[in-house]
Amino acid sequence: MFSDLTVLENLALGLYPKRTFGSLPPRGAMDAIFELLPALKERSRQLAGSLSGGEAQMLTIGRALIARPKLLLCDEPSLGLAPLRVAEMFETLDRVRRSGVTILLADQNANAALRRADRAYIFETGAVVASGSGSGCWKTIDWASFT
């Protein structure tokens, strides 16, 4: 995220790899992002540096999605977010997944991540300790140790 640019300008940067970068993204691409992430529409003229943590995370996802990728890499998208914003983040990722985009997610929120995963790998001190379906891995975790 470029904090000294507006939300709209940050989203426009996501189109650069497609060689369609101009002063503003094409109308259809912007509408699709605003439909998926409505809070960004309200803040489109706002400087990205003034966004909350959750809004900033949504902006980075929006910038990645505006180029219509087949694969979205997410590294700790819930890190540092309030519980309500964590739920919103995972709901957004659910909508992205349903739209046909494959998501590779690394997150310490194992409960939320595993409940959504088709395939999961659990690492402990750098070694894979469990792998398989998300629900299968979810069942192998001793959740009592997380309290």
Helix axes 53-65, 83-98, angle to 10 degrees: 10
Mean pLDDT of 80-92: 91
Measure the CA–CA gap between 110 and 120, rounded to whole angstroms: 10
Q: Which CATH superfamily hosts domain 1-108?
A: P-loop containing nucleotide triphosphate hydrolases (3.40.50.300)
pTM of the full predicted structure?
A: 0.81
pLDDT in tens, 29-59: 888 899 989 999 999 999 999 999 889 999 9
- Res. 94: pLDDT tops 80: yes
Contact 37, 62 (CB under 8 A): yes
Q: In the prediction, which pLDDT does 11 show?
A: 93
Cα dist from 131 to 10, 72, 85, 117, 138, whole Å: 36, 21, 28, 11, 10
Domain boundary assignment for the chain: 1-108, 109-147
What does the mean pLDDT of the chain come to? 87
